[in-house]
Amino acid sequence: MSKAEQNKPLVKHIYTADPSAHVFNGKIYVYPSHDLNVEVTDNDNGDQYVMEDYHVLEMDSVTSEVVDCGEVLNMREVPWVSKQMWAPDCAYKNGKYYLYFPAKDKDGIFRIGVATSDTPGGKFTPEAEPIKGSFSIDPCSFVDDDGRAYLVTGGLWGGQLEKWQTGSFVMGDPDMIPGSDGPKGDEPALGPCVGELTDDMLQYKEAPKHVQILDENGEPIKACDEKRRYFEGPWMHKYNGKYYLSYSTGTTCYIVYATSDSPFGPFTYQGRILEPVIGWTTHHSIVEVDGKWYLFYHDSSLSGGINSKRCVKFRELNYDADGKIITMNPYDN
């Protein structure tokens, strides 16, 4: 498959974003968020991302037709949700599939919910309450080789991550510029949170912990380092025994990564994976398919650059001999 063939939207009948890709039962399943086709105004709180349901995309291989499994969960089915069902992920364990999703509760606070299914394509049945102790957005599920399972979560600004620095939600001034209540300047940047899940995959074993991301000198990445600091969209995968934490830098629109010997870190910054795409946001996943690795991501090319109407794409990802991910330009054919 050529790079040009890979640089096409997976589907065009709906707007999709934030793809979490997995191989289940020999097929590729992509769990994206669903951008509704409505007219909205952009702001730094993310209110333009109007989402209320999830679809699952199924592929027999990277060259096959993409099948939309249909709506697998709607916010109307989740008692605690008020709005904004954003980027989800899915995990398999115990003979079941677990769909993890963020949404605002009735108080306007982002929590992480979970829904279950006997099949990877759904439909998914939600738990009545969010995961206890959960907060912020962008859950990434990671099941390690030993069967232990983790959730990696967190997004700044509209994702409310910086509002949890004390361990409890602090609203702050509603007129405050998004992000202004977080670390600044040379202060250590906030990292995502990692929490191990219980064996039934429905709760945390203990409170999730903030992960530290270090530079090449072993010093914490600074809040002002917008080309390398964590913003949102975490993804964790394992390659040659190392844990790879990749994420979006937000304002500078890069996908970058760091590595560690533990899922709890600390992680050491390694470099860029993807240069900026059309549209403000960037969010991704990394999956191995038949011995090759692929990056699933989104841009706003299908809508002509409208930030809140995006489309999922993918392209092959390569490592060098030292395990470094080779940087990609999304439009290099």
> Mind telling me the catalytic residues?
18, 232
Integer Cα distance of 85 and 58 in angstroms? 21
134: left (phi over 0), alpha (psi -120 to 50) or beta: beta
Which 3 state secondary structure label does DSSP give 292?
strand
The closest alpha carbon to 259, from 249, 273, 277, 276, belongs to: 273
Decide if 192 contacts 209 (C-beta within 8 A): no
Q: Kindly report the CA angle at 96 between 204 and 203, in degrees rounded to 5?
A: 10
In what side-by-side order are the strands of the sheet with 140-143?
140-143, 149-153, 193-196, 209-210
Integer Cα distance of 299 and 101 in angstroms? 21
Cβ neighbours of 252 (radius 10 Å): 16
Integer Cα distance of 171 and 157 in angstroms? 12
Q: Which residues of 108-132 are buried (b: 16+ CB within 10 A; e: fewer)?
A: ebbbbbbbbbeebbbbbebbeebbe
Decide if 161 contacts 125 (C-beta within 8 A): no
Owner of token pair 């940047």: 189
Cα diameter, the chain: 51
What residues are paired with 91 via a beta bridge? 98
Integer Cα distance of 248 and 46 in angstroms? 15
